[in-house]
Amino acid sequence: MKILFLDQSGKPGGAELCLIDIAKPYRDRCLVGLFIDGPFRHFLEQQHIPVQILGTQSLQVRKSSSLLEGLGSVRQLVPMIAQVAKTAREYNLIYANTQKALVVGALASFISRRPLVYHLHDILSVDHFSQTNRRLAVTLANRFASLVIANSKASQAAFIEAGGHPDITEVVYNGFEPELYDTPESNNPSLLRQELGLEEQFVVGNFSRLSPWKGQHVLIEALTHCPSDVTAIFIGDALFGEQDYVKQLHERVKALGLEERVQFLGFRSNIAQLMAVCDLVAHTSTRPEPFGRVIVEAMLCGRPIVATQSGGAIELVEPGINGFLIPPDAPQELAQVIINCRDQPQHTATIAHHARNTASQRFHLININQQITQLLCQVVETNKKVLVR
């Protein structure tokens, strides 16, 4: 089976990291088409995954765009659709990994007569998308997609609520390689703690792009309710024109006098090593999270996790068993969890140990990729029967 993957981003977000894991088994029989060049291309090349850049500038359409704003990108889309349709004839199916990829992939699928699979990494709700974008995604998926893979039950439910056909959806969680999170460096974090000046500190880590709905401000506010030895580190940076929020975070840290207790480390690739430095990982999204990749990564690193009680996080975290849940945008409740974990290290370690064991089995990449392969084979076989008719 040969697969043409499509992705809109040049930067490695959660959906892109998931794509790498799915594409690796098809290295010698796939191509990843990116709408714009960027660091993500290097990630793919490091894994020896063939990649082709389809455009020279990003599509000027955002999740909040109106119909008029979306029409402004038509001139960019037409040649890209033609190029993808031509390339797709050499492959068995088109795999759209993002919403903009769905737009291009749907029309290219129709032209090339190749089946379309849409991997839904988003919650199609008013919290995340404009009405125009929700309607466009659902209409294209219903009309052209043979399969919609939702990364959680929450994503699937939002798709169906927005008008998506239930019979074309399947839930497949993101997959992980547990051994990548169990390294000598992650098992001995004292040197990195020393380098970061975190000795004798209770360290709370936040791993996410810096964005208002990712809720880094919630953790900053929570620090004001915690003992002075509680320190926060933020790993990630702004991706989609959200530099104003980054500036606000720095200003808030200064206004609260927390300069000695907060570190912004930017984008880092050594996630396992940095998680090992943390005594607790805080996932602070203020809107429903489609899946929550960081939540599973923390579990695999043997770190306790506190997450917002909404979206996909509810499917991953069992409170008091493998982690903790708090209401959205609730700094005082977050502070209380931090204090409890700080004051009850043995109980917290037991929860983290249980989380590691269960996550290693539940989200193992081998099992997840087997599920996806089975679904893709069904799509290809069904399409062959249709073409024969």
Rg over CA atoms, the chain = 21
Contact criterion met (CB below 8 Å) for 234 and 216: yes
Residue-wise pLDDT tens digits, 315-352: 999 999 999 999 999 999 999 999 999 999 999 999 99
- Count of Cβ atoms closer than 10 Å to residue 259 Cβ: 10
Query: Is the alpha carbon torsion for 36, 42, 47, 49 positive or negative?
Result: positive
Residue holding tokens 């003992």? 227
Least confident of 204-208, 248-252, 384-388: 384-388
H-type helices in 224-330, by residue range? 243-255, 271-277, 293-300, 313-316
- Count of Cβ atoms closer than 10 Å to residue 320 Cβ: 10
Q: pLDDT tier at 269 (50, 70, 90 boundaries)?
A: confident
Dist CA 266 CA 262 (whole Å): 12
State residue 33's pLDDT score.
Answer: 97
Is the domain defined by 178-362 classed in CATH 3.40.50.720? no
Cα→Cα distances 104→2, 71, 87, 266, Å: 19, 14, 13, 32
More confident site: 182 or 213: 213
Helix axes 74-88, 99-112, angle to 10 degrees: 50
Q: Return the structure tokens found at 167.
A: 């019979």
Residue 235: φ, ψ to 5°: -110, 115
User: Is the model's pLDDT at 17 over the cut of 60?
Assistant: yes
Residue holding tokens 């990449």? 365
Dist CA 44 CA 22 (whole Å): 11
Dist CA 38 CA 53 (whole Å): 9
Mean pLDDT across the chain: 92
Q: Which of 57, 5, 59 is nearest to 32 (CA)?
A: 5
CATH topology for 3-175+365-388? Rossmann fold (3.40.50)
3-state SS, residue 289: coil
Domains 3-175+365-388 and 178-362 alike in fold: yes
Which one-letter amino acid corresponds to residue 109?
S
State residue 135's pLDDT score.
Answer: 94
Q: Which of 103, 31, 118 is nearest to 70 (CA)?
A: 103
Residue-wise pLDDT tens digits, 75-131: 678 899 999 999 999 999 999 999 999 999 999 999 999 999 999 999 998 877 888
Residue 328: φ, ψ to 5°: -65, 145
Residues written for the chain: 389
- Count of Cβ atoms closer than 10 Å to residue 184 Cβ: 7
Least confident of 65-79, 151-165, 287-301: 65-79
- Count of Cβ atoms closer than 10 Å to residue 4 Cβ: 25
Mean pLDDT, range 174-179, rounded to an integer:
95
Contact criterion met (CB below 8 Å) for 22 and 372: yes
Q: pLDDT tier at 242 (50, 70, 90 boundaries)?
A: confident
Dist CA 305 CA 284 (whole Å): 11
Contact criterion met (CB below 8 Å) for 81 and 108: yes
Q: Which of 338, 315, 40, 333 is nearest to 206 (CA)?
A: 338
Q: Return the structure tokens found at 158.
A: 């939002």
Domain boundaries, the chain: 3-175+365-388, 178-362
State residue 75's pLDDT score.
Answer: 66
